Amino acid sequence: MIRSYSLLLAAFAVVAFIGGQAAVPAQSKGEHLPPRLTAKSAQHILAGNCVLLPTTGEFPDRLKAAFTKLTKQDKFSLANAGEDYQATDFVEDPKLPFRRLVLAMKCEKFWFIHYEKGGRSHSYALVLFRDGLSGEPSVVWSGTGPRSNTREELRKAIADGLISNSLPYYW
């Protein structure tokens, strides 16, 4: 009885460990990621010179590749704002992406992608990438929170602590 309880406990620990690992972007040995930013830094960057990217067609290939890696997909899949996507866990059209763009911007060497994710639990996420020395963007800040339709709403949500990166999230 004790042995089966121990095995069950060990299996649960492994599942919990693996589940927690999936929420953090993977870093290969030798891969150098930029230092993580604070919410205050992200808010400050949004106050600078930013260019709106209204569609995913305006994303450079290197940003699409970084987003694809983060979301652990085989290919880039993010519907444009207003387009159909898988809003629930009932799959009506398997060709539709599970994520849809809300707002994207380029601010100096930083890229903000704010999107909604359908499925079992509808949510909104914000990911901030920074171009590295090699030109490849890496995640430097991310969080989940309410939908923000403008740069000002996004800055306020970050400032008010409504966009949080304290919980695990499956991008």
The number of CA neighbours under 13 Å toward the Cβ of 28 is 4
Full residue range of the structural domain in which residue 128 is found: 36-159
Q: Are 37 and 128 in contact (CB under 8 A)?
A: yes
Q: What is the pLDDT of residues 58-69, one digit of tens each?
A: 999 999 999 999
Residue holding tokens 């993977």? 26
Answer whether 0.75 is exceeded by the pTM: yes
At residue 35, the pLDDT reads: 54
Q: Say if 164 falls within a structural domain.
A: no
Q: Say if 147 falls within a structural domain.
A: yes
Q: Say if 122 falls within a structural domain.
A: yes
For residue 164, give the DSSP letter. B
Q: Say if 120 falls within a structural domain.
A: yes
Which two three-digit tokens encode residue 101? 């763009």
Q: Say if 62 falls within a structural domain.
A: yes
Containing 8, the helix (H) or strand (E) segment is helix 2-22
Q: What is the pLDDT of residues 13-58, one digit of tens each?
A: 333 333 333 333 333 333 344 457 888 899 899 998 999 999 999 9
Q: Say if 27 falls within a structural domain.
A: no
122 three-state secondary structure: coil
Q: What is the pLDDT of residues 104-142, one digit of tens each?
A: 999 999 999 999 999 888 999 999 999 988 889 999 999
Q: What is the pLDDT of residues 47-58, one digit of tens each?
A: 989 999 999 999
Q: Say if 5 falls within a structural domain.
A: no
